[in-house]
A and B are shown apart, each in its own frame.
Chain A
């Protein structure tokens, strides 16, 4: 409808991470339990725009999505311009915790996808008491690489085109065309080397095999949901991870791939609604 203004509000918060103030862009809508959403590697928080305007969810949750430093509208830290970007388990964890602290969030729920799903597992291992519940989309303790990330950032290959073309196959076939295009557009817009730098965490630094058995879901419930068409983090990867975590809830989502919230929001809603309801129900006990 012409003239319709969405209820999403976008602002910047100054967040001190590892001794340096970062200007972090975030969008939010709703009130209630804070629900912090983490985007995939090489993209930004626009992936969550459908969840952010869901009337049912925002009645009970303050949905917040932020652009990681170097992504979307969050610039690199001043001291880091010109240096090679590399996300690590430590820097990713510190960023999420600092963002939540800067906004004064009281034991938020954190939902992350892909690298965001992986880091959710580390939050469950190391900081479960800080969170009300954790949701990992396309999450596993490890997954087999299927391409060489060196292709993502070299002067003789268009970074935007190669990033989008690589991940295009992770979207389930026959979903909404506009949503597919928008998901890939995020990858075409990433800064040079940012997708590759995120994958340093995913491929090199963030192997959590042997560590997820330390997760205690009685402290913080853990939900893992993976799309059946995700051949990067496969359903088998997620189910293997969940099998080693007593009490973790794992679901394989039909007709969805690696970007459930943005590639097919309606289909994703069918799966995430019961999870959010379960979290709400636990608050009432």
Chain B
């Protein structure tokens, strides 16, 4: 076999601080408010879910595509339909302007074991592109620059 151009990224692929990841995640509701097109794509979506860094996830309440409440866990006896939680390293990589290969998609992260998807997946799957774009919003604010 002849091969060329093999490149793999070490884990974690980018440098980050947990506090910066948490701050970037907390900014998502405000970023969504400024994205009318993404909000409109979620207009049929009402769901209570668990999203965020695995070290500090949030209960997120979405109504008609808008985040109406985001509260850090734990909240006593609060329910959720599905959870998408990723390591801080995964979010830091996912939010790069040019994310490293294999860290550039929510399901790439689950495949590589850097994120978990649990619960009733129906609302997540019916709005898959919405959630991919929602959780990518910090990328636009140049979270980590070009990796």
Binding site for B on A (CB under 8 A): 144, 146-147, 151, 156-158, 161-162, 164-166, 168-170, 172-174, 228-229, 231, 234-235, 239, 242-243, 245-254
Q: Given the interface contacts A165-B128, A173-B99, does A250 sit within 8 Å of B105 by beta carbon? A: no
- Count of A-B contacts judged by CB separation below 8 Å: 85
Question: Do residues B132 and A173 form an inter-chain contact, with CB atoms below 8 A?
Answer: no
Q: Is B68 an interface residue (CB 8 A)?
A: no
Q: Given the interface contacts A146-B110, A169-B106, does A252 sit within 8 Å of B3 by beta carbon? A: yes
Question: Do residues A169 and B104 form an inter-chain contact, with CB atoms below 8 A?
Answer: yes
Q: Which residue on chain A has the smallest CB distance to residue B1?
A: A242
Q: Given the interface contacts A162-B125, A174-B98, does A228 sit within 8 Å of B107 by beta carbon? A: no
**C-alpha gap A156/B44 in the complex (Å):** 13
Binding site for A on B (CB under 8 A): 1-7, 97-99, 101-102, 104-108, 110-112, 122, 125-126, 128-129, 132
Q: Which residue on chain A has the smallest CB distance to residue B112?
A: A231
Question: Do residues A231 and B108 form an inter-chain contact, with CB atoms below 8 A?
Answer: yes
**C-alpha gap A184/B107 in the complex (Å):** 17
Question: Do residues B111 and A245 form an inter-chain contact, with CB atoms below 8 A?
Answer: no
**C-alpha gap A167/B5 in the complex (Å):** 24
Question: Do residues A252 and B126 form an inter-chain contact, with CB atoms below 8 A?
Answer: no
**C-alpha gap A270/B105 in the complex (Å):** 25
Contacts of A165 in B (CB 8 A): 128-129, 132
Interface residues of A, dominant DSSP:
loop
Return A133 CB to nearest CB of chain B, in Å.
Answer: 15
Residue contacts A-B, CB under 8 angstroms, 9 given: A156-B126, A164-B129, A165-B128, A228-B101, A229-B101, A231-B102, A250-B1, A252-B7, A254-B5
Question: Do residues B1 and A158 form an inter-chain contact, with CB atoms below 8 A?
Answer: no
Sorted nearest first, the 10 A-B pairs with minimum C-beta distance are A169-B105, A165-B128, A165-B129, A231-B108, A146-B111, A242-B1, A250-B3, A228-B101, A252-B5, A229-B101
**C-alpha gap A174/B111 in the complex (Å):** 22
Q: Given the interface contacts A146-B111, A249-B2, A250-B2, does A161 sit within 8 Å of B129 by beta carbon? A: yes
**C-alpha gap A162/B132 in the complex (Å):** 12
Q: Which residue on chain A has the smallest CB distance to residue B121?
A: A151
**C-alpha gap A246/B129 in the complex (Å):** 41
Question: Do residues B4 and A158 form an inter-chain contact, with CB atoms below 8 A?
Answer: no
Contacts of A242 in B (CB 8 A): 1, 3
**Most chain A CB within a 10 A radius of its CB, from B4, B129, B132:** B129
Question: Do residues A147 and B107 form an inter-chain contact, with CB atoms below 8 A?
Answer: yes
**Most chain A CB within a 10 A radius of its CB, from B3, B5, B98, B101:** B101
Q: Which residue on chain A has the smallest CB distance to residue B5?
A: A252
**C-alpha gap A285/B107 in the complex (Å):** 47
Question: Do residues B129 and A235 form an inter-chain contact, with CB atoms below 8 A?
Answer: no
Return B49 CB to nearest CB of chain A, in Å.
Answer: 17
